[in-house]
Amino acid sequence: MTQPKKLFIKTYGCQMNVYDSERMAEAMGGQGYVQTDRPEDADMILLNTCHIREKAAEKVYSELGRYKGLKSDRPDLKIGVAGCVAQAEGEEIMRRQPLVDLVVGPQSYHRLPDLMARTSNGAKALDTDFPEEDKFEHLKSRPKAKRGPTAFLTVQEGCDKFCAFCVVPYTRGAEVSRPADRVLDEARDLVERGVREITLLGQNVNGYHGHEKGLAGLIRELAKIDGLARIRFTTSHPNDMDDDLIAAHGDCDKLMPYLHLPVQAGSDKILKRMNRQHTAEQYLRLIERLRAARPDLHMSGDFIVGFPEETEEDFQGTLDLIAAVEYGSAFSFKYSERPGTPAAERPQVPEAEKDDRLQRLQALLTRQQRALQDAMVGRELGVLFEKPGRMPGQMVGKSDYLHAVHVAAEGLVPGDLRRVRIVESGPNSLKGVLA
Ligand code: 5AD
Ligand code: SF4
C-alpha cells in the first residue's frame, strides 16, 4: 500500500485565513494528501500568510528560512506560500526565497492541485489572479467527516473602504458576497456534521449583500436551521451597520450578544485622515442604538496607536472613547507602515511614542475587560462546551459573551450547551458549575 502524502499548513493572521486553510486542506485531500502537524514529515509545506502589518509579513520569510535544511535533505518537498503576502508580493517571494515552489493568492485556492501538478518537474508555479469563477463552489466538497461544535464560514470577502493604513483592499480585492442559498447549504452541512455555533466571516461582513435583506436577512435564515444554536459574525464596519442588523441583536435569540466593531481611533482628525468616513460621536451613537436593542451586548474593537500625525491630544481622544464604550475585549496595534497605502507617505510618529501609547491603551482595555469578566461571577450564562480542560474531569467552553469557561462535571461532552453559574473569575477565563 502506498503511504498517503502529507501536508503541513501553517496559518497566520485572521480567522478568514483559518477557514481558507481548512478549505485548502480539503482540496489537497482530494489529491490524496493528509494533514500533519510536523513540517519535518511533510511532502508539502504551505504557509497561509498575513500582510496586514510589517511584522506579520517578515515572519513568513523567517519561517521559510527555517525550511532550508528540510528542502536540501528532501528535494521532492514542495513549499508553497498562500494568502495575502502571496497576493501582495507574487513572484518577488520566489526571488527572495528560491526554495519556494509555488505562490497562490487568496482567490485562487481552488487551483492549488493544478499548481502543485505544475511543480512536479521542478518548475515554479504562480497564481495571483482574481478569477471569474467562484472558488467556494470549486472547493465545495467538504468531506462528510464529523466536526467540532464551532465553525467559521466565510460569506464575504474583500473591502472597498480603503482605510488609509490598510492593505486589505489591495490584497483581497473588491467586496464580493456569496449567494445566501450557497451559504445556507454549507451551514446545513456543517450542522449535520455536529456544528452548533457558526461564525460568519468577512473583511466587511456586515456589508454582505448576498441576501436581499443583507446580513440580517442571512442571519434570520440561518436561525431557522434546527440544531444550530448560536450565530456570530466578524468583522464589521460601523458604516455598514443597518437598522435591521441592529434590530436582529434584540430579536434573534441565536445571535450572540457580542459584537466586534472596530473604530481604530477616537479623534475625529485621525478618523478623517484614516478615511474611516465616520466620527467618534457617530460610533458612540451607533453603540447606544445597539445597546438599546440588546442591553447586555459586549463590545469588542480594534485600535491603532501612533497613526501618522497622531498627537498626545488625539490619543487622549481614543482613551476617552474607550472609557465611554467599556469594551469586553479588544485588539490593539502600533501603526505599521505599509508601502503603497496613503498613510505610509505621511509624517510618522516616533517608535518610542507608539510603544508608550500602546502600553497606556492596553492598560485601560485590560482593566475594562477584567471588570466586565469579573461582573459575570454569580450570574448564570449559556456555555457551549468545546473540549476537555487541562484538569481531569474538566470541560472548557465559551459563554454567550465569548469568555472561556471551565466546568468540572460528569458526563459533559463537546457540543453540549448548558446553563452554567459562574463562581470565579481568573486572569483569562471563568470557572463555573452546572446550573
Ligand atoms: N498598522 C497597524 N494596524 C493595522 N491594522 C490594519 N492595518 C494596520 C496597519 N497598517 C489593524 C486594524 C484592523 C486590524 C485587522 O488590523 O486595527 O482592524
Ligand atoms: Fe482594512 Fe478598513 Fe477595509 Fe477593514 S474596513 S479591511 S481596516 S480598509
Cell of 23: 478549505
Ligand 2, pocket-test mutation among 17, 84, 160, 168, most atoms within 8 A of CB: 168
User: Is the beta carbon of 159 within 6 A of some atom in ligand 2?
Assistant: yes
In angstroms, the CA 274 to CA 262 distance is 13
Contact 299, 229 (CB under 8 A): no
Q: Closest ligand 1 atom, CA of 343?
A: 10
* Residuewise pLDDT in 10s, the chain (435 residues): 578 899 999 999 999 999 999 999 988 998 899 999 999 999 999 999 999 999 888 899 999 999 999 999 988 999 999 999 999 999 999 999 999 999 999 988 889 999 999 998 889 999 998 877 777 776 665 566 788 999 999 999 999 999 999 999 999 999 999 999 999 999 999 999 999 999 999 999 999 999 999 999 999 999 999 999 999 999 999 999 999 999 999 999 999 999 999 999 999 999 999 999 999 999 999 999 999 999 999 999 999 999 999 999 999 999 999 999 999 999 999 999 999 999 999 999 999 999 999 999 999 999 999 999 999 999 999 999 999 988 888 999 999 999 999 999 988 999 999 999 999 999 899 999 999
Helix (H, G, I), strand (E, B) or coil at 324: helix
Residue 235: asked if its preceding bond is cis (omega within 30°), the reply is: yes
Name residue, grid cell 443597518: 242
- pTM score, whole prediction: 0.94
State the ligand closest to the CA atom of 264: 1
Which protein residue's CA is at the shortest distance from atom 17 of ligand 1?
302
- pLDDT at residue 390, as a whole number: 86
User: Is the beta carbon of 171 within 6 A of some atom in ligand 2?
Assistant: no
In angstroms, the CA 51 to CA 172 distance is 11
Which protein residue's CA is at the shortest distance from atom 5 of ligand 2?
161
- pLDDT at residue 236, as a whole number: 97
Residue ranges of domains in the chain, CATH in brackets: 5-127 (3.40.50.12160), 144-256 (3.30.750.210), 380-434 (2.40.50.140)
The end-to-end CA distance of the chain, in Å, is: 52
Most distant pair of Cα atoms in the chain: their distance:
69
In angstroms, the CA 386 to CA 147 distance is 11
Query: CB burial class (10 A; 0-12, 13-18, 19+) of residue 301?
Result: buried
Q: What are phi and psi of 343, to 5 degrees?
A: -65, -25
Contacts 24+ apart (CB under 8 A), 363-370: 364/319, 364/322, 364/323, 365/303, 365/322, 365/327, 365/330, 365/332, 368/322, 368/326, 368/327, 368/328, 369/327, 369/328, 369/329, 369/330, 370/425
Helix (H, G, I), strand (E, B) or coil at 303: strand
- pLDDT at residue 136, as a whole number: 75
Query: CB burial class (10 A; 0-12, 13-18, 19+) of residue 378?
Result: exposed
- Burial of 220-249, coded b for 16+ CB within 10 Å and e otherwise, reads bbbbebeebbbbbbbbbbbbbbeeebbebb
